[in-house]
Amino acid sequence: MAELFIEIFGEEIPARMQLAAEKRLADGLAQALKDAGLEGDAPRSWSGPRRLAVSIAGLAKTQPDLNEERRGPRADAPEQAIAGFLKGAGISRDEAEIRSTPKGDFLFAVINKKGQDAEVILPAMIRDLLMQFAWPKSMRWGRSRQRWVRPLHRVSVVFDGKPLAGELPLGGGASVPFTASTLGHRMLSPQEISLKGGDDYDQALNAHQVIADRQTRIDMIAESMASLTKAEGFTVMDDDGLMAEVAGLVEYPHPIMGQIDDSFMALPPEILVVSMRSHQKYFAVSAADGTLAPRFITIANMAPDAKRDAMIRAGNERVLKARLADARFFWDQDCAQPLSENVAKLTGITFFEGLGSMGDKAKRMASLAASIAGMIGADADAAQRAGLLAKADLVSETVGEFPELQGVIGGYLAAKDESQAIAEAIAGHYRPEGPSDDVPEDRVTIAVALADKIDSLTGFFGIGELPTGSKDPFALRRAALGVLRLIVHNKLELRLKDVFALAAQGYGFDKASDALIPFLHDRLKVWLREEGIRHDVVAAVLRLDDPRHDDLIHLCRLAQALADVLETEDGQGLMAGYRRASNILSAEEKKDQTRFDGGVDAILIETMSDLAEVRAAVDAAKHVAPDLPVFATLSFDTNLHTMMGVSPEQAVVELSAMGADVVGANCGRGFEEMETIATKMAEARPEGALLFMQSNAGLPELVGADFVYNGTPEGMAELATKMKSMGVDVVGSCCGSTAAHTQAIRSVMVS
Amino acid sequence: MTVSASPSSAPLDRKKSFQSIILTLQHYWADQGCVILQPYDMEVGAGTFHPATTLRALGPDDVWNAAYVQPSRRPSDGRFGENPNRLQHYYQFQVIMKPSPADSQDLYLGSLKAIGLDPLDHDIRFVEDDWESPTLGAAGLGWEVWCDGMEVSQFTYFQQVGGIDCDPVPVELTYGLERLVMFIQGVDNVYDLDWDGVPKDQGGKVYGDIFHGAEVDYSHHNFDRANTEMLFRHFLDAEQECASLLDAAHPLPLPAYDQCMKASHIFNLLDARGVISVAERQGYIGRVRALAKGCCEAWVAAGKKDQADG
pLDDT for B111-156, tens place per residue? 999 999 999 999 999 999 999 999 999 999 999 999 999 999 999 9
Tell me the C-alpha distance between A128 and A90, whole Å. Answer: 22
pLDDT for B292 beyond 70:
yes
CB pairs under 8 A between A and B: 110
Helix (H, G, I), strand (E, B) or coil at A110: strand
What string of DSSP letters covers A617-666?
HHHHHHHH-TTS-EEEEE---BTTB-TT---HHHHHHHHHHHT-SEEEEE
Tens of pLDDT along B193-217? 999 999 999 999 999 999 999 999 9
Tens of pLDDT along B101-123? 999 999 999 999 999 999 999 99
Tens of pLDDT along A172-188? 788 999 999 999 999 99
Does this model's pTM top 0.80? My answer is no
**Over residues A72-96, mean pLDDT:** 84
pLDDT for A266 beyond 60:
yes
ipTM of the complex: 0.93
Tell me the C-alpha distance between A727 and A716, whole Å. Answer: 17
Residue in A261, A620, B133, A613 with CA at minimum distance from that of residue A633: A613
Question: What pLDDT sits at residue A701?
Answer: 86
Bridge pairing between strands A603-608 and A630-634: parallel
Q: How confident is the model at residue B304 (pLDDT cuts 50, 70, 90)?
A: confident
pLDDT for B2 beyond 60:
no
Question: By the 8 A CB rule, do A294 and A273 touch?
Answer: no
Q: How confident is the model at residue A632 (pLDDT cuts 50, 70, 90)?
A: very high
Question: By the 8 A CB rule, do A417 and A338 touch?
Answer: yes
The sign of the CA dihedral A274, A279, A283, A288 is: negative
What string of DSSP letters covers B55-77?
TTTTSS-SSEEEEEEEEEE-GGG
Give the distance, in angstroms, between the CA of residue B240 and the centroid of all CA atoms in the same chain. 26
Helix (H) or strand (E) holding A326: helix A306-335
Residue B81, phi-psi category: left (phi > 0), alpha (psi -120 to 50), beta (remainder): left
Measured CA distances, A79 to A75, A84, A87, B112 (Å): 10, 9, 12, 70
**Over residues A444-467, mean pLDDT:** 95
Residues 6+ apart with CB under 8 A from B242: B256, B257, B259, B260, B263, B291, B294, B295
- B128, A12: Cβ pair inside 8 Å? yes
- A16, B128: Cβ pair inside 8 Å? yes
Phi, psi of B186 (to 5 degrees): 70, 40
**A329 touching B, CB under 8 A?**
yes
**Over residues A716-723, mean pLDDT:** 92
Measured CA distances, A17 to A244, A562, B143 (Å): 11, 45, 14
Residues 6+ apart with CB under 8 A from A299: A221, A246, A249, A250, A253, A254, A255, A256, A281, A283
pLDDT for B310 beyond 80:
no
**Over residues A372-393, mean pLDDT:** 96
Tens of pLDDT along A352-369? 888 999 999 999 999 999
Quick one: what percent of chain A has pLDDT higher than 70?
A: 100
**Over residues A642-649, mean pLDDT:** 90
Amino acid at B253: P
Helix (H, G, I), strand (E, B) or coil at B298: helix
- DSSP label at A689? P
Tens of pLDDT along A562-585? 999 999 998 899 889 888 888 888
With beta carbons under 8 A apart, name residues in chain B contacting A311. Answer: 121-122, 148
Tell me the C-alpha distance between A21 and A133, whole Å. Answer: 9
Quick one: what percent of chain B has pLDDT higher than 70?
A: 95
- B123, A143: Cβ pair inside 8 Å? no
Exposure class string for A307-341: b at 16+ Cβ within 10 A, else e: ebbeebbebbbbbbbbbbbbbbbbbeebeeeebee
B102, B141, B183 member nearest A315 (Cβ): B183
3-state helix, strand, coil in chain A (%, to 5): 50, 20, 35
Tell me the C-alpha distance between B14 and A96, whole Å. Answer: 86
Question: By the 8 A CB rule, do A502 and A491 touch?
Answer: no
Question: What pLDDT sits at residue B11?
Answer: 62
- A308, B120: Cβ pair inside 8 Å? yes
Tens of pLDDT along A74-83? 888 888 888 8
Phi, psi of A10 (to 5 degrees): -165, -160
Question: What pLDDT sits at residue B4?
Answer: 44
Tell me the C-alpha distance between A599 and A628, whole Å. Answer: 11
Question: By the 8 A CB rule, do A301 and B125 touch?
Answer: yes
With beta carbons under 8 A apart, name residues in chain B contacting A349. Answer: 278
Q: How confident is the model at residue A59 (pLDDT cuts 50, 70, 90)?
A: very high
Tell me the C-alpha distance between A553 and B261, whole Å. Answer: 60
Question: What pLDDT sits at residue B10?
Answer: 59
Residue of B128, B154, B275, B281 best to disrupt the A interface, most CBs of A under 10 A: B128
B105, B128, B171 member nearest A14 (Cβ): B128
With beta carbons under 8 A apart, name residues in chain B contacting A319. Answer: 148-150
pLDDT for B8 beyond 50:
no
Helix (H, G, I), strand (E, B) or coil at A568: coil
Helices (H), strands (E): how many in chain A?
25, 23
Q: How confident is the model at residue A425 (pLDDT cuts 50, 70, 90)?
A: very high
Q: Is B291 exposed, middle or buried (0-12, 13-18, 19+ CB in 10 A)?
A: buried
With beta carbons under 8 A apart, name residues in chain B contacting A348. Answer: 277-278
Q: Between these two residues, B5 and A162, which has the higher pLDDT value?
A: A162
Tell me the C-alpha distance between A504 and A523, whole Å. Answer: 21
Q: How confident is the model at residue B5 (pLDDT cuts 50, 70, 90)?
A: very low
Tens of pLDDT along B15-36? 999 999 999 999 999 999 999 9
Average pLDDT, chain A: 92
Residue in B163, B96, B140 with CA at minimum distance from that of residue B298: B163
**Over residues B27-46, mean pLDDT:** 97
Within 10 Å of residue B66's Cβ, how many Cβ atoms? Answer: 20
DSSP strands (E only) in A551-602: none
Bond prior to A190 in cis (omega within 30° of 0): no
pLDDT for B3 beyond 50:
no
Question: By the 8 A CB rule, do A398 and A406 touch?
Answer: no
A14, A312, A322 member nearest B122 (Cβ): A312
Bond prior to A432 in cis (omega within 30° of 0): yes
Question: By the 8 A CB rule, do B169 and A150 touch?
Answer: no
Residue in A720, A726, A728, A727 with CA at minimum distance from that of residue A746: A720
- A321, B122: Cβ pair inside 8 Å? no
Residue of A9, A12, A328 best to disrupt the B interface, most CBs of B under 10 A: A12
Measured CA distances, A706 to A175, A670, A703, A709, B122 (Å): 91, 18, 5, 10, 103
Tell me the C-alpha distance between A383 and A504, whole Å. Answer: 19
Task: HSE, CB side, 13 Å, CA atoms: give it for residue A536.
Answer: 3
Measured CA distances, B307 to A194, A614, B57, B60, B301 (Å): 47, 103, 16, 8, 10
Tens of pLDDT along B213-247? 999 999 999 999 999 999 999 999 999 999 999 98
Q: How confident is the model at residue A71 (pLDDT cuts 50, 70, 90)?
A: confident
Bridge partners of A168, per DSSP, are A176
Tell me the C-alpha distance between B67 and B77, whole Å. Answer: 25
Tens of pLDDT along A509-545? 999 999 999 999 999 999 999 989 998 899 999 988 8
Residues of B contacting chain A (CB within 8 angstroms): 83-86, 99-102, 104-105, 119-128, 130, 140-143, 147-150, 157, 159, 167-169, 171, 183, 186, 188, 277-279
Tens of pLDDT along A306-350? 999 999 999 999 999 988 988 898 899 899 999 999 999 998 888
pLDDT for A104 beyond 60:
yes
Residue in A318, A405, A394, A319 with CA at minimum distance from that of residue A351: A394
* Angle at which helices B18-31 and B177-185 cross, to 10°: 110
Helix (H, G, I), strand (E, B) or coil at A693: strand
Tell me the C-alpha distance between A679 and A696, whole Å. Answer: 17
**Over residues B36-47, mean pLDDT:** 96
A139, A186, A188 member nearest B157 (Cβ): A139
pLDDT for B6 beyond 60:
no
Question: By the 8 A CB rule, do A608 and A632 touch?
Answer: yes
**A310 touching B, CB under 8 A?**
no
Question: What pLDDT sits at residue B226?
Answer: 95
Helix (H, G, I), strand (E, B) or coil at B268: helix
Bond prior to B168 in cis (omega within 30° of 0): yes
Question: By the 8 A CB rule, do A191 and A210 touch?
Answer: no
A153, A187, A300 member nearest B119 (Cβ): A187
Helices (H), strands (E): how many in chain B?
8, 9
Tell me the C-alpha distance between B231 and B234, whole Å. Answer: 5
Question: What pLDDT sits at residue A27?
Answer: 96
Tell me the C-alpha distance between A474 and A516, whole Å. Answer: 15
Quick one: what percent of chain A has pLDDT higher than 90?
A: 71
